[in-house]
Structure 1
Amino acid sequence: MSTSPPPTPQISGFIKDDEERFKEIISPCEWVEDYHPGGYHPVVLGDVFHNGQYKVIRKLGEGSYSTVWLARDLRNNKYVAMKIVMSKISEPTNETAILRLLSQTPGGSKHITQLLDEFNHQGPNGIHKCLVFEPMGPTVNTMVEELPPFKGKGRLPSLKIRYPYWMAKGILRQSLQALVFLHENGIAHGDFQPGNMLFTLRDINSKPEEELRQKEDMQAGFISPPVERLDGKPDKWAPPYLCIAQPLVYPTDYAQDFKIKLSDMGGAYFVNEPPAKPITPAGLRTPEYVLTGVVNHTMDIWSFGCLVFELLTGQPLLCTPWYPNQTDIDDEHLRIMTARLGPLPDNLYQHWKTSSFYFTPERKLYNCWHGGVPEGQEPLILEEPTMEEAFDQAELDIDEEEARKVKALIRRILHYDPEKRPSAAEVLSDPWFLEDEVRNDSS
């Protein structure tokens, strides 16, 4: 069953599919052009949903197909997180069925953000599925910049922004435990990445609404400039402003006993019903999917192997820049993959239709230009470090034996043959994870 959304409906008699209608907004929020029939629901702070039960007070985040809000449950006097899905994809995915199943499965509440309620909401852009969850803290992607060594310092070139080693390992362990839980119940996450790993919160239900409510203040960076159409006409499909996400940072528990849960099951699927096009980020996709389109049960595990490197070093293992052409994206991904992990086996390499742009018939790299060597240019050879060399270059504060265990684990997971990749449970019993259990049992 495919999790890909259906085509965006055209706004008949109003605008062409490829025509922009709004003045550009450069604030860090969702794309304003996605407010149209079939797209996002226009939300204004203070809006109420589900017959007055949920009052929106803060923007927590947004994704390609949804926005997420902190809301006050006025009936039960507590805070919740409300995910409002684009109307064009309110039903086609497995998300709600999987969330219902996991909410009834013992152990689910420990590893997966809990579904509390669901309902449909009619808006100017269509009928939107709304999913109500327990409120959570920032993602693993964003929380690292809120830690004391980095907060307020921005992306300085000399600053290595990454989690402390003990914390990165704890994030990896807990996210892996969540994967074990999902896989044991026949479910693959499909979008396993730091943006879908959330920190839990200390209790916020005693906090007054005024303390958590987002201000409608453009100068302070809480909302965007006004949404304005290029033709000057009023617009009934978009909100008057966009909210800039304000994750709940200060109530987040990131002390020694912090907790992580997996969220966003929008790309999840039952293992025996894999999608034709998973939504796994490009840099975390398996080589067999990139080259042959095959989706198998090891996609989450491959992603995890890449993330072991990324969370410990603060750098992606297979950095995949964006290019307008998907072929160029795949080529760069595969080229870096072979540099980091070694040559592709023949059964995969034969499917790389543009490999001759980069390799000689003897499989020797001679060029790193995308799409071939430009006319008049000499082939350019770049020396790329292997995975082990790149790991060592990150200069982690660990001894050689610890580093050896980590690199061995990454190698064990990122095997080109999917049948030789370990299961999530097998990875959890790897010596690198087991040593902590032995240490804790003896203390």
Structure 2
Amino acid sequence: MSCSSSSGSEEDDEGFDSYRKGGYHAVRIGDQFAGGRYIAQRKLGWGQFSTVWLAYDTTNSSYVALKIQKSAAQFVQAALHEIDVLSYIAKGDPSNSKYVVQLIDHFKHAGPNGQHLCMVLEFLGDSLLRLIKYNHYKCLPLNKVREMCKYILTGLDYLHRELGIIHTDLKPENILLVSTIDAAKDPFKSGQSPILERPEGGINGGVTSLIEKRLRRRAKRAVAKISEKRSSMGVAGDEQKSTRNIDGIDMRCKIVDFGNACWADKQFAEEIQTRQYRAPEVILQSGYSFSVDMWSFACIAFELATGDMLFTPKGGQGFSEDEDHLALMMELLGKMPRKVSTLPLPNVFLE
């Protein structure tokens, strides 16, 4: 999910039925939090556990990302864990120079669906997934890829070597540019005045905005179909297929979303990582450490440089998704060292 998408989904919406007891908190533009300190401006994204909002910090006259967790007990526990990790990260980086998202504040907010833990994070821009899509899944210039990799590795070095933290879910959605691709959407650069009170008669935010969002999406699909039809008739031209000019985009980026992070000496889950970025030792259940983040990083670097995922495994008749994933890895890298696996694998898999 992204912070500023921090950790908001890139796709669709969170659905009406999750706004209930134990679920999301319905937010409207102009709603106040933490005794009026933070005022909701617009929705940035959502995740399985939370929604994320752009908010105006009236104390510091600044914009922040407000992450509002679902209220059920398991989500509260998850938020407490994330706050612990983020607090530890912030404590070790007072100058905010390590390219990892900064936690600014956290508090509880009571609503009709229960009590929600809220995190206030620095506002960041679009995810690397959004950048890849913006560039029409074409290869990004290698000098830009190197620049982004430098920032990601700076963040990983800080997490691993200085703090002993494993992220466990590194992927393009969880790395955010420091500013938005479109400057007009950046609250700092756009020059727009903050909303300080709820608009009269507005239907912004929360559940009601989902109706508008779905209508907009339906209209977009209709336009896309027309464009597709015109393209097949040879009318669309080359602009749609060519890469975008990304020279003016700030390539600085930060690692976000620590909901699944763990300390190297205190791990919680055996199965970690999003499928396409999952390391072989995780698939083989042979124990894991910092190297799993490095595997995910390498997959991301490949994706930035080519526009394609390095591994996209699929299950089929007679073989599982795990087996296909391992086979794809071996096609690229050769057989697995025997020490990697604690599972009884056929010799065809092993050196």
Decide: shared fold, TM above 0.5: yes
Give the secondary-structure state (helix, strand or coil) at the position aligned to 1:117. strand
> Are positions 1:198 and 2:191 aligned together?
no
Kindly state the Cα deviation for residue 305 of structure 1 after the two structures are TM-superposed: 1.9
- Relative contact order, higher structure (CA 8 A, sep 6+): 2
Aligned to 2:148: 171
Structure 1: distance between partners of 2:48 and 2:281 = 25
Query: Is residue 2:322 matched to residue 1:344?
Result: no
Q: Contact 1:122/1:128 (CA < 8 Å) preserved in 2?
A: yes
RMSD between aligned residues: 3.5
Contact conserved, 1:169 with 1:312, CA < 8 A, in 2? no
Distance in 2 (alpha carbons) for counterparts of 1:80 and 1:299: 31
Query: Do residues 73 (structure 1) and 61 (structure 2) align?
Result: no
Q: Secondary structure at the match of 1:119?
A: strand
Q: Deviations over 1:359-401 (max 9, x none)?
A: xx7739xxxxxxxxxxxxxxxxxxxxxxxxxxxxxxxxxxxxx
Could you say which residue in structure 2 is the equivalent of 1:40? 24
Q: List aligned pairs for 1:95-110, cutoff 5 A.
A: 95-106=82-93, 109-110=96-97
Matched, 1:113 2:101: yes
Query: Which residue of structure 2 lines up, in the alignment, with residue 187 of structure 1?
Result: 165
Pick which of 197-206 and 163-172 moved more: 197-206
- Aligned pair in 2 of structure 1 residues 163, 119: CA closer, same or farther (>3 Å)? same
Q: Which letter does structure 2 place at the counterpart of 1:90?
A: V
Structure 1 unmatched ranges of 5 or more: 1-26, 151-158, 224-237, 246-252, 354-360, 365-415, 418-443
Q: Deviations over 1:106-156 (max 9, x none)?
A: 36612112111100112233221100011111111102334xxx4xxxxxx
Structure 2 partner of 1:131: 119
1:207 matched to 2:192: yes
CA distance in 1, matches of 2:142, 2:173: 19
Counterpart of 2:6 in structure 1 is: none
Number of equivalent positions: 293
SS of residue paired to 1:309 = helix
Cα deviation, 1:73-100, whole Å, max 9, x if unaligned, reads 2333221110112223123453111211
The one-letter amino acid of 2:305's match is: L
Highest CA radius of gyration, 1 or 2?
1
TM-score normalised by L of structure 2: 0.72
Q: Report the residue type matching 2:119 in the other structure.
A: L
- The runs of 5 or more residues in structure 2 that have no matched partner are 1-10, 180-185, 215-245
**What TM-score, normalized to structure 1?**
0.58
Percent identity between matched residues is 31
Query: Aligned residue for 1:374?
Result: none
Q: Secondary structure at the match of 1:132?
A: strand
Q: CA–CA distance in 2 between the matches of 1:352 and 1:36?
A: 46
Change (3 A) 1:362 1:266: closer
Match of residue 262 from structure 1:
255
Q: Find the aligned partners of 1:117 and 1:304 in 2 and give their Cα distance.
A: 29
Aligned to 1:425: none
Superposition deviation, residue 197 in structure 1: 1.0
Conserved 8 A contact 1:275-1:295: no
In the superposition, relative to structure 1, how do residues 175 and 107 fare at CA in structure 2: closer, same or farther (>3 Å)? farther
C-alpha contact (below 8 Å) 1:276/1:295 kept by paired residues:
no
1:293 CA drift (Å):
5.8
Deviation at 1:281, TM superposition (A): 0.6
In structure 2, what is the Cα distance between the partners aligned to 1:297 and 1:363? 28
Distance 1:362 1:279 in 2: 26
1:200/1:160 CA distance change after superposition, 3 Å: closer
- For the structure 1 residues 169 and 268, does the alpha-carbon distance in structure 2 shift closer, same or farther, using more than 3 Å as the test? same
Higher mean alpha-carbon deviation, 132-141 vs 282-291, is at: 282-291
Alignment of 1:308 onto 2:285 = no
Change in Cα spacing, 1:32 to 1:287, as seen in structure 2 (3 Å) is farther
- Secondary structure of the residue that 2:45 maps to in structure 1? strand
